[in-house]
């Protein structure tokens, strides 16, 4: 198949070019204005846009439309309506009006709302977000929307994200204006999300109830080969996977998603795809679509894509690197060290804001990635620890050091820098300076937040990033706007900020035990479990931060906390139930059947050869019997614990019980079951083993 990429790119998107081509000039101009200025859409324009959209969509084979939104459970939701309307007896016309474009009313009572909306006032509405283009997916015109309750509360992940983008834009603008960049009118947050995933054969998947119900293997002994040979990472992509990736790229390109990089990841069967970065809300929509299309196309190719953070014990799990930056409407990346002293000074102010934000808001950044799935990664030797820190690289670290000590900075080329004077040279920042173990790394012209889990929506993550950094920028702007002598105020601000917050900078090995100790000495937060982190969402100072930035109301913040905690409890409860069921219905019966074979064999041999025969069978039987009993008792304990869970009233008590009691009991059950697998014939084991799952493509 030959693909003309430039031709197909964006062909399923009602994008700017399409709008310009298909809308009356005046309508197009009005629509652009409403998009750029964020104004509400008037009915006349909406009707014209809806009409053009419908004609375009029908030409592309669409029969339905949907308001495509992102409820708080982190997936995307859609309810399809066809364009048909009655037109005389037995006849229909295809219609789509402005009001249907602007607003939808899904019966939304079964989406999580964390107490924001009781079921009797179930109605919420969806509203078109014209900053994200409509697109066609599977014959359906999808209109990206925000989802709110009639009382005005955000019931989705998109609305707060858009608000947080406004919040940071506002504060960042103040800073660039202070530096005399009056030509800048808008600042965008940009994101590029690298997505990791596993692929396994569909046949094997269908035989594993743990994968089907929970997305990860709850049992499984390690196969003889893991990732120790390091032969999968960046290795040749095998034909079956390559065919899948080729089709994935085409689908994404058609949707205007700039799929750019693809490669094998560390673990066997693990892969990554990365797009070119774009505005945050688009990047969020696109990442949701990417995850969805990965899953759909994998099936088409006889595989299943696992997006879970830790589908397999013993090999790396999957993350999602959130590359983040700020750029102006004049095309300047604010985290690109500049060519002039003043640009560099501005860069340092933005850098200082990040340092302050990450230090001040370790709790929020940690909780932005707190999920049951991610608990398996953070703190293991494959992902950053559950402790926030920033990697600056040696060059920037030296600059910061010089600022703190008020010394001239002696750069590699021996030029001197004295902050606040005109002799600031180019900052010699070596972007190849990489540290893969840092949760928050400066990578030359952007920051890479490496803690997010692979299945997470990046909406909440960026909502928190934007809000916390907006907070730091606001404090800076307040201070600098009030200063008499701007240059010396900047100098003082940088020095004080770096002095106060440099404990958050760490350029060493984040995976080491020494860092955990060192971080403790520095007084940094270490929150190993989601249950430790999530309660910070409703800490008074955090609620006030969100309210002040107009990102979340108190009720919205608390509802998000409740939903995340409930999700944690529900997920682990499902995992526990699945484990008990698989043990009782699959593992124990399979082992008993195998034991019967061993017993028959041993008895037959003894009869033939005397009572010393059958040593092997007898030994395996003894070992197996001990493990069988152990597994049985552990499954009973876990089952009882699940019943105890029902007795707790508050979500805090439930979550803590899950973390303290249920999770350890799950580990306790897995051990004898995995040992049984090792001493049982593969043909007798009830489901495919790690060897097949990891190497069975
Ligand atoms: P890596 O070494 O991490 O693979 P890349 O340069 O390939 O680094 O970038 C990784 C991701 O970062 C890509 O998705 C890329 O588009 C994104 N990225 C690059 N620049 C920016 C930026 N200014 N803002 C946000 N994301 C960016
Ligand atoms: Mg990267």
Express each pLDDT in 97-140 by its tens digit. Answer: 999 998 888 766 677 777 775 544 557 888 898 889 999 999 99
- Output the pLDDT for position 662: 98
Please tell me if the CB atom of residue 270 comes closer than 6 angstroms to any atom of ligand 1: no
Please tell me if the CB atom of residue 192 comes closer than 6 angstroms to any atom of ligand 1: yes
Please tell me if the CB atom of residue 393 comes closer than 6 angstroms to any atom of ligand 1: no
Express each pLDDT in 491-507 by its tens digit. Answer: 999 999 999 999 999 99
Share of the chain above pLDDT 70, in %: 94
CATH number at residue 333: 3.30.590.10
CA gap 686, 587 in Å, rounded: 7
Nearest residue by C-alpha to atom 6 in ligand 1: 443
Express each pLDDT in 413-444 by its tens digit. Answer: 434 444 444 445 456 566 556 778 999 999 98
CATH number at residue 107: 3.10.20.70
Helix (H) or strand (E) holding 274: strand 270-275
Please tell me if the CB atom of residue 515 comes closer than 6 angstroms to any atom of ligand 1: no
- Output the pLDDT for position 120: 46
The verdict on residue 542 lying in a domain is yes
Kind of pairing, strands 84-86 and 92-94? antiparallel
The ligand placed nearest to the CA atom of residue 274 is 1
CA gap 491, 403 in Å, rounded: 8
SS (H, E, C) 413-434: CCCEECCCCCCCCCCCCCCCCC
Phi, psi of 342 (to 5 degrees): -70, -40
The ligand placed nearest to the CA atom of residue 280 is 1
- Position 328 pLDDT exceeds 60: yes
Express each pLDDT in 133-180 by its tens digit. Answer: 999 999 999 999 999 888 788 989 999 999 999 999 999 999 999 999
Task: Using alpha carbons only, give the angle 364, 366, 370 rounded to the nearest 5 degrees.
Answer: 110
The verdict on residue 560 lying in a domain is no
CA 323 to ligand 1: nearest atom: 26
Express each pLDDT in 31-90 by its tens digit. Answer: 998 887 777 788 889 999 999 999 999 999 999 999 999 988 878 888 899 999 999 999
The verdict on residue 470 lying in a domain is yes
CA gap 485, 495 in Å, rounded: 16
Nearest residue by C-alpha to atom 19 in ligand 1: 277
* 42, 71: one domain: yes
Please tell me if the CB atom of residue 631 comes closer than 6 angstroms to any atom of ligand 1: no
Q: What is the DSSP string of 289-358?
A: HHHHHHHHHHHHTTEEEE--S-SSTTS---BEEEEEEEEETTS-BTTS--SSHHHHHHHHHHHHHHHHHH
Share of the chain above pLDDT 90, in %: 78
* 224, 349: one domain: yes
Axis crossing angle, helix 615-645 with helix 554-582, rounded to the nearest 10: 150
Beta carbons within 8 Å of 588's beta carbon, 6+ residues apart: 628, 631, 632, 635
User: Domain boundary residue among 131, 155, 179?
Assistant: 155
Please tell me if the CB atom of residue 333 comes closer than 6 angstroms to any atom of ligand 1: yes
- Position 197 pLDDT exceeds 90: yes
Mean pLDDT over 253-266 rounds to 93
Please tell me if the CB atom of residue 290 comes closer than 6 angstroms to any atom of ligand 1: no
* 293, 438: one domain: yes
- Position 305 pLDDT exceeds 70: yes
Please tell me if the CB atom of residue 278 comes closer than 6 angstroms to any atom of ligand 1: no
The verdict on residue 558 lying in a domain is no
Here the tokens at position 335 are: 């985290």
Nearest residue by C-alpha to atom 14 in ligand 1: 192
- Output the pLDDT for position 337: 85
User: Ligand 1 centre and the CA of 427: distance in Å?
Assistant: 20
- Position 460 pLDDT exceeds 90: yes
User: Domain boundary residue among 92, 122, 155?
Assistant: 155
Its domain, for residue 360, covers: 164-552
- Output the pLDDT for position 416: 40
Please tell me if the CB atom of residue 277 comes closer than 6 angstroms to any atom of ligand 1: yes
* 185, 334: one domain: yes
User: Domain boundary residue among 155, 179, 195?
Assistant: 155
The ligand placed nearest to the CA atom of residue 334 is 1
The verdict on residue 421 lying in a domain is yes
* 507, 596: one domain: no
- Output the pLDDT for position 417: 46
* 642, 574: one domain: yes
Nearest residue by C-alpha to atom 1 in ligand 1: 443
* 169, 148: one domain: no
* 305, 381: one domain: yes
Confidence band for 634, pLDDT divided at 50, 70 and 90: very high
* 365, 406: one domain: yes
CA 333 to ligand 1: nearest atom: 23
Express each pLDDT in 10-39 by its tens digit. Answer: 999 999 999 999 999 999 999 998 887 777
* 494, 597: one domain: no
- Output the pLDDT for position 415: 40
- Where do runs of H (alpha helix) occur along 67-132? 98-102
Please tell me if the CB atom of residue 191 comes closer than 6 angstroms to any atom of ligand 1: yes
- Output the pLDDT for position 414: 37
* 182, 140: one domain: no
Nearest residue by C-alpha to atom 11 in ligand 1: 192
Nearest residue by C-alpha to atom 2 in ligand 1: 443
Q: What is the pTM of this model?
A: 0.94
CATH number at residue 623: 1.20.120.1560
Q: Among 192, 234, 257, which residue has the most ligand 1 atoms within 8 Å of its CB, making it the best to mutate?
A: 192
User: Where is pLDDT greater, at 434 or 327?
Assistant: 327
Please tell me if the CB atom of residue 323 comes closer than 6 angstroms to any atom of ligand 1: yes
- Output the pLDDT for position 431: 58
Query: Are the C-beta atoms of 372 and 453 separated by less than 8 Å?
Result: no
Q: What is the DSSP string of 499-516?
A: HHHGGGB--S-TTSHHHH
Count of structural domains, the chain = 3
- Output the pLDDT for position 227: 81
Please tell me if the CB atom of residue 274 comes closer than 6 angstroms to any atom of ligand 1: yes
Please tell me if the CB atom of residue 633 comes closer than 6 angstroms to any atom of ligand 1: no
Please tell me if the CB atom of residue 334 comes closer than 6 angstroms to any atom of ligand 1: no
CA gap 526, 529 in Å, rounded: 9
- Position 656 pLDDT exceeds 50: yes
Express each pLDDT in 606-628 by its tens digit. Answer: 999 998 898 999 999 999 999 99
Beta carbons within 8 Å of 480's beta carbon, 6+ residues apart: 175, 178, 486, 489, 490, 493
- Output the pLDDT for position 422: 42
The ligand placed nearest to the CA atom of residue 447 is 1
Average pLDDT, the chain: 92
- Output the pLDDT for position 39: 74
User: Ligand 1 centre and the CA of 325: distance in Å?
Assistant: 9
The verdict on residue 557 lying in a domain is no
- Position 218 pLDDT exceeds 90: yes
The verdict on residue 503 lying in a domain is yes
The verdict on residue 559 lying in a domain is no
* 188, 300: one domain: yes
Kind of pairing, strands 103-104 and 124-128? antiparallel
User: Ligand 2 centre and the CA of 359: distance in Å?
Assistant: 22
């Amino acid at each position: 198949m030959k693909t003309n990429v430039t031709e197909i790119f964006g062909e399923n998107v009602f994008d700017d070019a399409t709008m310009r081509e298909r809308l009356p000039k005046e309508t197009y101009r009005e629509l652009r204005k409403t998009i750029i200025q964020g104004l509400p859409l008037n009915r006349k324009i909406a009707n014209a846009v809806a009409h053009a959209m419908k004609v375009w969509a029908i030409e592309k084979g669409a029969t339905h439309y949907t308001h495509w939104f992102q409820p708080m459970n982190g997936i995307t939701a859609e309810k399809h309506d066809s364009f048909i309307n009655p037109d005389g007896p037995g006849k229909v016309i295809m219609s789509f009006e402005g009001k249907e474009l602007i607003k939808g009313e899904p019966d939304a009572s079964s989406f999580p709302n964390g107490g924001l909306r009781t079921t009797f006032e179930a109605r919420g509405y969806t509203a078109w977000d014209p900053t994200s283009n409509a697109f066609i997916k599977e014959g359906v015109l999808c209109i990206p929307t925000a989802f709110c309750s009639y009382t005005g509360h955000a019931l989705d992940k998109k609305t707060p994200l858009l608000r947080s983008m406004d919040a940071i834009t506002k504060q960042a603008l103040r800073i660039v204006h202070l530096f005399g960049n009056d030509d800048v009118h808008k600042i965008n947050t940009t994101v590029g999300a690298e997505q990791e995933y596993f692929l396994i054969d569909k046949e094997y998947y269908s035989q594993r109830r743990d994968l089907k119900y929970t997305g990860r293997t709850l049992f499984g002994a390690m196969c003889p080969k893991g990732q120790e040979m390091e032969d999968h990472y960046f290795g040749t992509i095998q034909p079956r996977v390559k065919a899948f990736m080729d089709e994935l790229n085409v689908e994404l390109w058609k949707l205007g998603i700039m799929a750019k990089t693809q490669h094998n990841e560390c673990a066997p069967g693990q892969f990554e795809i990365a797009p070119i970065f774009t505005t945050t809300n688009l990047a969020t929509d696109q990442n949701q679509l990417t995850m969805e299309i990965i899953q759909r196309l994998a099936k088409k190719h006889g595989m299943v894509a696992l997006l879970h953070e830790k589908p397999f014990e013993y090999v790396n799990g999957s993350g999602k690197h959130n590359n983040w930056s700020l750029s102006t409407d004049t095309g300047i990346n604010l985290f690109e060290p500049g060519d002039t002293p003043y640009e560099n000074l501005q860069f340092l102010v933005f850098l200082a804001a990040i340092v302050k934000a990450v230090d001040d808001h370790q709790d929020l950044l940690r909780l932005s990635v707190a999920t049951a799935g991610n608990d398996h990664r953070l703190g293991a030797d494959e992902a950053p620890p559950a402790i926030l820190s920033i990697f600056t690289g040696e060059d920037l670290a030296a600059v910061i050091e010089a600022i703190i000590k008020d010394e001239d900075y002696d750069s590699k080329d021996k030029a001197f820098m004295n902050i606040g004077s005109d002799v600031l040279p180019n900052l010699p920042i070596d972007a190849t300076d990489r540290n893969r173990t840092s949760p928050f790394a400066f990578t030359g012209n952007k920051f890479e937040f490496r803690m997010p889990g692979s299945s997470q929506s990046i909406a909440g993550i960026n909502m928190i990033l934007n809000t916390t950094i907006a907070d730091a920028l606001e404090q800076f702007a307040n201070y600098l706007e009030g200063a008499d002598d701007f240059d010396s105020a900047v100098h003082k601000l940088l020095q004080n900020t770096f002095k106060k917050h440099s404990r958050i900078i760490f350029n060493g090995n984040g995976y080491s035990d020494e860092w955990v100790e060192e971080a403790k000495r520095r007084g940094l937060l270490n929150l190993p479990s989601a249950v430790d982190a999530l309660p910070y969402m409703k800490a008074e100072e955090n609620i006030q931060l969100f309210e002040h930035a107009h990102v979340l109301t108190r009720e919205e913040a608390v509802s998000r906390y409740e939903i995340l905690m409930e999700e944690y409890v529900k997920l682990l409860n499902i995992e526990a139930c699945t484990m008990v069921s698989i043990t009782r219905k699959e593992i124990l019966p399979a082992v008993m059947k195998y034991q019967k074979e061993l017993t028959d064999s041993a008895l037959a041999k003894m009869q033939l050869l005397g009572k010393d025969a059958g040593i092997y069978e007898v030994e395996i039987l003894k070992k197996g019997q001990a493990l069988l009993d152990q597994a049985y008792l552990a499954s009973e304990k876990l089952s009882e614990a699940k019943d105890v869970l029902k007795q707790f009233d508050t979500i805090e008590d439930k979550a803590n019980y899950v973390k303290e009691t249920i999770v350890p009991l799950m580990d306790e059950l897995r051990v004898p079951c995995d040992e049984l697998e090792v001493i049982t014939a593969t043909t007798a084991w009830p489901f495919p083993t790690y060897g097949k799952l990891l190497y069975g493509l």
